[in-house]
């Protein structure tokens, strides 16, 4: 059992050691093997807009909810302009956590997105400029992000796109780029390049969906690693593939998913739908977890 250790009298909390600027926040979220994002704003603000996959713990409930914090992986905190993230960071530090970072506010995170988040290769830049020149008009290039989980998405480019009022407008090497505010958290680390087929393509090395290949087991494992487990991680849960029989997958859930009262919904409406949409040959998905042994279910029965 993890025991909190009060370090407040032993070592002074140095906020600069844990603070990230907005770009660093997104980079840590994108590159971490196990990122856990916590939104410390009010539930009302969270419902209006937040980062996909973030778990909402309003700051007034944070200290009493500290048992929900994962003891491994990278904890990322943000709040509003009222300083909630700094308060929560100091609470974590005083309770023995060391693998966490915070950034000041949600608005800072979104409003500071700039052209450095996206790279256009030289070959792609020439291709785009020639395309714009031949069209004879100032076309807009919009990056469309279609999330499939909190840390995975499909990316594509939309030429001659229309702009919405809340879209974010950037200019990269003279090329006008639009990104949608709702999916802006998937943009950091994005590349626009020419693919092997000679076509213009947008990818994000860590966040783009991998093309499924290999055996049925390998395809399922890819989906669990890239889409399902990042989604379950916000609730402290995970799932493992125990085996394949008669073209059906047998799964075992752990962490916050073991003993969770919502597990049937998670399996049937979440995991099974996701797997069967991506792998039509999959005959079924079955949960073989002993949920009576769950020690810390996210939703208790």
Residue 33: per-residue pLDDT: 74
Please report where in the chains the tokens 């802006």 appear, as a residue. 184
Structure token digits, residue 26: 């997104």
Positions of the chain with pLDDT lower than 70, given as ranges = 1-10, 68, 71-72, 135-139, 160, 234-235, 262-264, 266-269, 294-301
Residue 2: per-residue pLDDT: 41
Contacts of 152 (CB under 8 A, 6+ apart): 207, 208, 209, 226, 227, 230
pLDDT tens across 212-253, in order? 778 899 888 888 887 788 777 766 778 889 999 999 999 888
Structure token digits, residue 262: 């919502």
Residue 228: per-residue pLDDT: 82
The CATH number of domain 115-203 is 3.40.1120.10: no
CATH fold, domain 216-293, is GMP Synthetase; Chain A, domain 3 (3.30.300)
The reply to whether the predicted model has a pTM over 0.85 is no
pLDDT tens across 24-53, in order? 999 998 888 778 899 999 999 999 999 988
- What are the extents of the domains in the chain? 15-111, 115-203, 216-293
Residue 226: per-residue pLDDT: 74
Answer for the pair 123, 98: CB distance below 8 angstroms, yes or no.
no
Structure token digits, residue 266: 């998670």
CATH of domain 15-111: 3.40.250.10
Q: Do 15-111 and 216-293 share a fold?
A: no
Structure token digits, residue 221: 């494992």
CA 77 to CA 88: how far, in whole Å? Answer: 8
Q: Indicate the DSSP class of residue 159.
A: E
Rg of the chain over Cα atoms, rounded to whole angstroms, equals: 21
Q: What order of strands is seen across the sheet that includes strand 152-159? A: 152-159, 141-149, 175-179, 168-172
């Amino acid at each position: 059992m993890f025991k909190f250790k009060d370090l407040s009298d032993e070592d002074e909390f140095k906020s600069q050691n844990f603070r990230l600027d907005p770009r660093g926040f997104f980079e840590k979220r994108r590159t971490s093997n196990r990122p856990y994002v916590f939104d410390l704003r009010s539930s009302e603000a969270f419902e209006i807009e937040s980062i996909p996959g973030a778990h909402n713990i309003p700051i007034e409930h944070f200290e009493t909810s500290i048992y929900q914090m994962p003891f491994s992986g990278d904890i990322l905190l943000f709040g509003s302009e009222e300083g909630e993230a700094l308060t929560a960071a100091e609470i974590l530090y005083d309770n023995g956590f060391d693998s966490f970072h915070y950034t000041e506010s949600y608005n800072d995170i979104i409003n500071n997105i700039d052209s450095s988040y996206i790279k256009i290769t030289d070959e792609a830049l020439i291709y785009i400029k020639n395309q714009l020149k031949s069209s004879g008009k100032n076309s807009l290039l919009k990056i469309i992000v279609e999330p499939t989980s909190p840390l995975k998405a499909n990316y594509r480019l939309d030429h001659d796109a229309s702009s919405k009022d809340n879209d974010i407008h950037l200019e990269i090497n003279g090329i006008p780029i639009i990104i949608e505010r709702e999916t802006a958290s998937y943009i950091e680390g994005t590349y626009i390049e020419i693919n092997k087929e000679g076509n213009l393509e947008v990818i994000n090395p860590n966040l783009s969906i991998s093309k499924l290949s290999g055996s049925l087991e390998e395809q399922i494992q890819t989906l669990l690693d890239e889409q399902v487990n990042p989604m379950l991680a916000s609730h402290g849960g995970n799932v493992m593939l125990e085996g394949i029989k008669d073209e059906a997958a047998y799964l075992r859930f752990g962490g916050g998913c073991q003993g969770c009262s919502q597990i049937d919904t998670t399996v049937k409406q979440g995991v099974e739908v996701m797997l069967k949409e991506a792998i039509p040959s999959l005959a079924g998905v079955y949960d073989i977890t002993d949920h009576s042994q769950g020690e810390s279910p996210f939703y208790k029965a």
